[in-house]
A and B are shown apart, each in its own frame.
Chain A
């Protein structure tokens, strides 16, 4: 039916397809975003010979398919195009901005035209990639040039307003995570109510900005309605790194039984479980200027809420934590309801 080919995650796992020329950076992107490979280690990645299918078990299960550069799926009879695009969430087309991109653009155009016939609603996300080291002016020039080349070609064939979005990305900074955040958000059913919950939280707790993060990938899946800016996203996302790393260093080994027991003795005389106020991770950092403390609260196995507070908020942490608790319960219900059955 129409509904199925629309690219909405109607059923099953939404799929993200990564396509583009050889060496454009597809494998680097999926390794950095989904497997936490340090960017400089992508130099050792080998060329992808066949489709790499990754299943990401997260707040929303989704698949990432990394395509070898030189395959033309529409020419090659071994590909079941229908199976591939039937349940697709988004097609991500990677273009190397540091290389000659004319051929990449030509192939992208062909692909879009091919897809438009049978799957007119597929979202096409163009990552203009490796923009680190390029000046801001130059980046915008490239983006403008590529946009025009694609739109012109498509309108020559009678497609106006094809659903194509452009992102400037690099694995060496947050831009790649930001771009993925925007892509993923389009796949979340009822994103609006999530955003409303966060907007409410910001109002009651006097937060400047709140993000709901997928902890593993550091993709943010929702934020409040205050304008999103790169700076606040970066600091919140880096804070998650701090917490993950510290937790890995100190939280990943079991303490001995006898030690455990000694902690329950005098002067506390209480079971360790009962000494703890919350079973979920809670964290906070006060910056030197006293302004804008940062707080983090684990929501479940996959998600964390990270917010930038306003000045003085640290003194009101107990109250803030209570409000956050309420919203966290709301979030959990939300994901319970919208989970694909």
Chain B
């Protein structure tokens, strides 16, 4: 949710429908609620409600549709447009939404995205973001105190823009908490990583290219690039668009099977189609034999990750 024009449909189209940032200029305003069911990893269905933000719709959500909209919410993603002129009004709307949410889904997780950060000059971004988050937190606290709401309002803020990887950071984090069997995935990735002497493993969901899970060796933890997961998501997803233009295949289609890069004596990397719904990226120390055997081992390991594609394991539907 969030005000009209704040960027909700844009981010949804980029993450789940492989739009590029530029394409979003063609999106019209969302009328009422746009429902979509996104299959994720084959065994998780995300029920995504993209709620048109024009005032009349918002009022309707808060009144007539109140029960319908705010019951059984797993996650609320609230989007603020950094360029908005009327911050007071935005905050008032936000508080009404939070109030309805706490009434019908008191355990819902709340993500606050301060969006279109690219429109703020780079040197001012940090400051602008902190200030806006402070305000949102303050309004949230005021609301909690005034109503005596007893639950805890759990709020996670992100600074985002469709023009860089910040969008992937936010969405990977939102998705991460919803993935079933996470601990199994993590421990299996770890065994694989150690076996093949990897420095890092990244497991991507096929369509969104969000990082579902990852493992990093002790040495790999020293990598100073902290936003590398979302950067790689962004890089590969952009390149998928290029391939789609090149081959003339639909942009949601699978685009590549294997990518490998040996960077002389520095490192090697490959990214392969892993299971039906995932890609695996492996970062390795240099070495031809190490590279070849790691590739072989990952192909063998596919079998033990088949469960990623399996039918419903946890009942994720009820959570969102």
Contacts and interface: CB of A to CB of B under 8 A. Distances in A.
Given A235-B243, A241-B235, A251-B266, A286 B290 contact: no
A247 interface: yes
B278 to A, nearest CB: 15
16 contacts: A38-B163, A44-B122, A234-B245, A241-B238, A243-B261, A245-B235, A249-B232, A250-B223, A251-B266, A256-B219, A256-B222, A263-B287, A268-B290, A275-B288, A281-B261, A285-B260
Contact of A275 (B261, B263, B269, B290): B290
B289 A268 contact: yes
A253 B224 contact: yes
A279 B264 contact: yes
Interface in A149-172: 172
A238 interface: yes
Interface centre among A41, A172, A232 (most CB of B within 10 A): A41
Contacts of B164: 38
Contacts of A288: 249, 253-257, 273
B266 A287 contact: no
A95 B263 CA distance: 41
Interface in A249-306: 249-253, 255-256, 259, 263, 268, 272-273, 275-292, 296, 298
A289 B247 contact: yes
B197 interface: yes
Contacts, number: 141
A102 interface: no
A172 B23 CA distance: 12
Interface in B214-251: 219, 222-225, 228, 231-232, 235-236, 238-239, 242-243, 245-247, 249
Given A40-B118, A250-B283, A268-B290, A245 B231 contact: yes
A298 B262 CA distance: 11
A231 interface: yes
A101 interface: no
A235 B239 CA distance: 8
B228 A284 contact: no
Question: Main SS of chain B's interface residues?
Answer: mixed
B239 A41 contact: no
Task: In the A-B complex, list the 6 residue pairs whose CB atoms are closest, starting with the nearest.
Answer: A275-B287, A283-B261, A238-B242, A235-B246, A285-B259, A277-B288
Interface of B: 22, 118, 121-122, 163-164, 197, 199-200, 219, 222-225, 228, 231-232, 235-236, 238-239, 242-243, 245-247, 249, 253-267, 269, 273, 283, 285-290
B247 A275 contact: no
A106 interface: no
Nearest to B200: A250
Given A275-B290, A276-B286, A288-B257, 19 more contacts: A38-B164, A40-B118, A172-B22, A231-B246, A238-B242, A242-B236, A242-B239, A250-B200, A251-B266, A253-B224, A255-B285, A268-B289, A275-B288, A276-B262, A277-B262, A281-B263, A281-B264, A285-B256, A287-B256
Interface of A: 38, 40-41, 44, 172, 231-232, 234-235, 238-239, 241-243, 245-253, 255-256, 259, 263, 268, 272-273, 275-292, 296, 298
A246 B283 CA distance: 10
A41 B267 contact: no
A248 B265 CA distance: 15
Nearest to B163: A40
A243 B288 CA distance: 19
Interface centre among B225, B253, B255, B257 (most CB of A within 10 A): B257
Given A276-B288, A288-B256, A253 B242 contact: no
Interface centre among B164, B199, B287 (most CB of A within 10 A): B287
B289 A286 contact: no
Contacts of B290: 268, 275
B28 to A, nearest CB: 17
A322 to B, nearest CB: 15
Nearest to A317: B260
A277 B238 CA distance: 30
B255 A268 contact: no
B246 to A, nearest CB: 4
Contacts of A251: 263, 266-267
Contacts of A285: 256, 258-260
A243 B236 CA distance: 10
Contact of A272 (B199, B219, B231, B265): B265
B286 A249 contact: no
Contacts of A172: 22
Given A263-B285, A278-B262, A283-B262, A238 B238 contact: yes
Nearest to A289: B247
B219 A259 contact: yes
B36 to A, nearest CB: 24
B10 to A, nearest CB: 14
A154 B142 CA distance: 72
A286 B257 contact: yes
Nearest to A256: B219
Contacts of A289: 247, 249
Nearest to B266: A251
Contacts of A238: 238-239, 242
Contact of A287 (B122, B255, B264, B286): B255
A291 to B, nearest CB: 8
Nearest to B246: A235
A259 B144 CA distance: 51
A249 to B, nearest CB: 5
